[in-house]
Structure 1
Amino acid sequence: MKGSRETDFAYQAVYRYLISLIGETAGDEHLRLPSLRQLAERLNVSISTIQYAYSLLEKEGRVYSVAKSGYYALPTPAIGTLYSGNDLLESVYVNARRPGMLVLSGDEPALLQPIDSPLLLLERELLRQYPRQPQPNSQPCGELELRMALAARYTTSPVRCWHADDVYIGADLRGVLEILIAVLCLKDATVVVESPCDWGILRLFQTAGVRVIEWPLMANGSLHHEHLKELLETEPVHLVMVSSALNMPRGSRAPDDNRQTVAQLLERYDCWVLENDCYGELGFEPNGLRFRDLLAPNRLLVFSTFEKVIGPEAPYGYLLSRHLSSEWQRQFLLRAFRLSSIRQKAIARLYNNGRIDQHLQLLRRRLKDSKAQMSQLLCERLGDALQFVEPEGGATIWVRSMRRVDVRQVFQRLLKHQVVIAPGELFSLQGLHTQHLRLSHSFGSDHDLTTALGLLGEALRLESLD
Structure 2
Amino acid sequence: MKTTGKDHFVYQAVYRYLTLLISEAGRSATLRLPSLRQLADRLNVSISTVQYAYSLLEKEGRVYSIAKSGYYAQASITPESPGSGSDLLETVYVNARRPGMCVLSADDPASLQPLDSPLLMLERELLRQYPRQPQWQVQPCGELELRTVLAARYTSSTVHCWQADDVYIGADLRGVLEILIAVLGLRRTTVVIESPCDWVILRLLEAAEVHVIELPMLAEGVIDLQQLESLLNSEPVRLVILSSVLSMPRGSLMPDVHRRAIARLLGEHGSWVLENDCYSELDDSGDTPRLRDYLDPDRLLVFSSFEKFIGAEAPYGFVLSRHWRSELQRHFLLRAFRLSPIRQKAIARLL
TM-score (norm: length of structure 2): 0.71
- Could you say which residue in structure 2 is the equivalent of 1:445? none
- Could you say which residue in structure 1 is the equivalent of 2:328? 328
Opposite residue 327 of structure 1, the aligned amino acid is: E
- Greater gyration radius: 2
User: Distance between the aligned counterparts of 1:247 and 1:132, measured in 2?
Assistant: 42
Q: 1:39 to 1:207 in 2, by over 3 A?
A: farther
Higher mean displacement: 202-211 or 166-175: 202-211
Opposite residue 251 of structure 2, the aligned amino acid is: G
TM-score (norm: length of structure 1): 0.54
User: Distance between the aligned counterparts of 1:177 and 1:266, measured in 2?
Assistant: 22
User: Are the equivalent residues in 1 in contact too, given 2:104–2:249 (CA < 8 A)?
Assistant: no
User: Distance between the aligned counterparts of 2:246 and 2:225, measured in 1?
Assistant: 17
Structure 2: state its 5+ residue gaps: 1-14, 24-54, 63-86
- Could you say which residue in structure 1 is the equivalent of 2:240? 240
1:249 CA drift (Å): 1.1
Deviations 1:87-138 (CA, angstroms, capped at 9, x unpaired): x9xx94x9977xxx45379724997775843211111111122222222111
Higher mean displacement: 243-252 or 102-111: 102-111
User: Are the equivalent residues in 1 in contact too, given 2:115–2:313 (CA < 8 A)?
Assistant: no
Alignment map for 1:365-404 (pairs within 5 Å): none
User: Distance between the aligned counterparts of 1:113 and 1:199, measured in 2?
Assistant: 22
User: Are the equivalent residues in 1 in contact too, given 2:96–2:103 (CA < 8 A)?
Assistant: no
Higher mean displacement: 187-196 or 216-225: 216-225
Counterpart among 85, 96, 114 of residue 103 in structure 1:
96
User: Are the equivalent residues in 1 in contact too, given 2:113–2:312 (CA < 8 A)?
Assistant: no
User: Are the equivalent residues in 2 in contact too, given 1:116–1:313 (CA < 8 A)?
Assistant: no
User: Distance between the aligned counterparts of 2:17 and 2:274, measured in 1?
Assistant: 42
Deviations 1:194-217 (CA, angstroms, capped at 9, x unpaired): 001011111111112111000011
Alignment map for 1:168-187 (pairs within 5 Å): 168-187=168-187
User: Distance between the aligned counterparts of 1:39 and 1:206, measured in 2?
Assistant: 50
SS of equivalent to 1:309: coil
Alignment map for 1:198-237 (pairs within 5 Å): 198-237=198-237
- Could you say which residue in structure 2 is the equivalent of 1:43? 60
**Matched pairs, number:** 273
SS of equivalent to 1:188: coil
Percent of pairs with identical residues: 60
Deviations 1:365-386 (CA, angstroms, capped at 9, x unpaired): xxxxxxxxxxxxxxxxxxxxxx
**Alignment RMSD (CA, Å):** 2.9
Deviations 1:360-418 (CA, angstroms, capped at 9, x unpaired): xxxxxxxxxxxxxxxxxxxxxxxxxxxxxxxxxxxxxxxxxxxxxxxxxxxxxxxxxxx
1:286 CA drift (Å): 2.7
User: Distance between the aligned counterparts of 1:119 and 1:349, measured in 2?
Assistant: 9
User: Distance between the aligned counterparts of 2:339 and 2:17, measured in 1?
Assistant: 35
User: Are the equivalent residues in 1 in contact too, given 2:148–2:163 (CA < 8 A)?
Assistant: yes
Q: 1:41 to 1:6 in 2, by over 3 A?
A: closer
- Could you say which residue in structure 2 is the equivalent of 1:157? 157
User: Distance between the aligned counterparts of 1:4 and 1:164, measured in 2?
Assistant: 48
Deviations 1:272-329 (CA, angstroms, capped at 9, x unpaired): 1011000112113233221110011111000000000001010001100111111111
Structure 1: state its 5+ residue gaps: 11-37, 46-87, 352-466
Alignment map for 1:273-422 (pairs within 5 Å): 273-351=273-351
Opposite residue 333 of structure 2, the aligned amino acid is: L
